[in-house]
Structure formats: structure tokens, C-alpha cells
A and B are shown apart, each in its own frame.
Chain A
Amino acid sequence: MLTILDTHVEAILEQAFAEHPVEACGLILGKKGQRTPHRLVPMENAARSETFFQFDPKQQFKVWEEMDDQEEVPMVFYHSHTGSRAFPSKEDIHHAWDPEAHYVLVSTAEGRPGEIRSYRIINDKAIEETIRVIHQSNDAPGENHAG
């Protein structure tokens, strides 16, 4: 199960619709062991494509440096599908390398605009998981103490 802040869901959808028809992408960072990731970083899609995304390598370098400094880990990798539903494509599965991350997909396509789904991708298999959306001021401190 993915536990995610409501503000992050809103930010992902807003970014996806703003960048439509190009695929939008980004990540949410958290502290290791924490259940809810806390820092969302929208990334530049270096592919600038309607059917492909790749984190801009220069920006990725900077984000990974910050992440190391702050002892954060990527907990969510997200991207949009602008012409299809929020299901992982063959390429999404092929390129997924982090078995500990949640892979979040959103759709801005006609049919299901705003659809959001989360997956674990391990050994070339994607398994969908439920998404629990929480409101920061009420739930987040409890989540963190529960660790």
C-alpha cells in the first residue's frame, strides 16, 4: 500500500495536466523507514515526448546529491500517460530498477482523466497496490511516530 499526502496527489495531477500532452514526471522523497514520503520534486522530462519520459540527467544529479546530504530515499517515482490509462507500459516495467519504490501513474488521456494508480515493479512484474491518501496536519505526525 502507498500512503501519500493529499497535497502531493493534487500537485502530481496539476503538473500532469499542465504538461499535457508531454509526459510529466517526478519523485517523492522520504526518510528511510518512514511510511509517508514528504518531499515532492517535479522533474524535467528530458525526452519531451508524448510517449516517453526520462528524468533530466543534470537535474537528477542535483536531486540525488541533496538526497544523500539529507539522508532521503526516493519512495515514489511518478509519471503521466497522456494518451492511455494509468497502467504501466512494457517500457515502464523494463526501466523500473527500484524494488523498494512505489511507481505511480496518472492519466491525462480522454476517458479517465485524473486516474491515479500505484504499483510495485519487481523482477519485470508490476503489481498494483492500494493508495491511501492522508491529510498532513492530522495523520502525518502519527505516521512518523509509528515509523
Chain B
Amino acid sequence: MPVKVKIPTILRTLTDEQKEVVSEGATIREVIESLESQYPGIRERLLKNDEVHKFMNIYVNEDDIRFKDQLATTVQQSDTITILPAVAGG
């Protein structure tokens, strides 16, 4: 199932500078796997120890997947997935 994925500036070197790409999957995990096959190297920027990287935010529409089912969060065809790097520091 195709879904839209918005790519943040810092990951656009991996997506040929595209701001928005179309990927596939019924869950966030599947979408990330499919992104990885399209744009190798993106998975390791998004995941750490098989979880969403602590300083990477992934949203389905406007919901942070940390407050849903994490990587098992389901996506529908009309959904937009947004990836944003966290702004953080000490």
C-alpha cells in the first residue's frame, strides 16, 4: 500500500534531495524497510537497537508513533508519515 513520507532536510542527501517520497507498507516498520530498499542507509538513521531512534520523531499524520504502537503503528493509504529530527541538547 503506497504512503507518502515527508523527509527532513538532514536526510535528503539519501533521497536525492526529495522532500517527499512515496513508499510502501501497512505498518511503520514495513514502511522503513521499504524506504531502506529505495534509499539505502536511511534505516540506520531512523532506528537504533530495533526501536525508533530516541532523537528522531516519526509521525503518522500528526500523531507521534511513540504514543501509538511504535514501529507496529499501522498506516493507511491516505496517511502522511512525517520524519523530524528532534531538537535537543544539554
Counting chain A residues whose Cβ lies within 8 A of the other chain, the interface size class is 20 to 34
Question: B82 — nearest CB in chain A belongs to which residue?
Answer: A61
Let me know if A90 and B90 touch, CB within 8 A: yes
Select A92's contact among B10, B55, B62, B90, beta carbons within 8 Å.
Answer: B90
Let me know if B82 and A91 touch, CB within 8 A: no
Q: Mark B61-90, 1 if CB is under 8 A from A, else 0.
A: 010101000000000000000101111111
Residue with the highest number of chain A CB atoms closer than 10 Å, among B66, B86, B88:
B88
Interface residue SS majority, chain A:
mixed
With an 8 A cutoff between CB atoms, is A40 at the interface? Answer: no
Q: How many residues from B make CB contacts under 8 Å with A? A: 16
Let me know if B89 and A52 touch, CB within 8 A: yes
Let me know if B90 and A55 touch, CB within 8 A: no
A contact residues around B88 at 8 Å (CB): 47, 52-55, 91, 95
Q: Mark A49-72, 1 if CB is under 8 A from B, else 0.
A: 001111101101110110000000
Let me know if A95 and B62 touch, CB within 8 A: no
How many angstroms from the CA of A97 to the CA of B84 in the assembled complex?
11
Given A55-B87, A79-B89, A90-B90, 20 new contacts (CB under 8 A): A25-B87, A51-B90, A52-B88, A53-B88, A54-B55, A54-B86, A55-B88, A58-B62, A58-B64, A60-B84, A61-B59, A61-B62, A61-B82, A64-B82, A65-B62, A91-B88, A91-B90, A95-B86, A97-B10, A97-B85
Give residues in B with beta carbon < 8 Å to A: 9-10, 55, 57, 59, 62, 64, 66, 82, 84-90
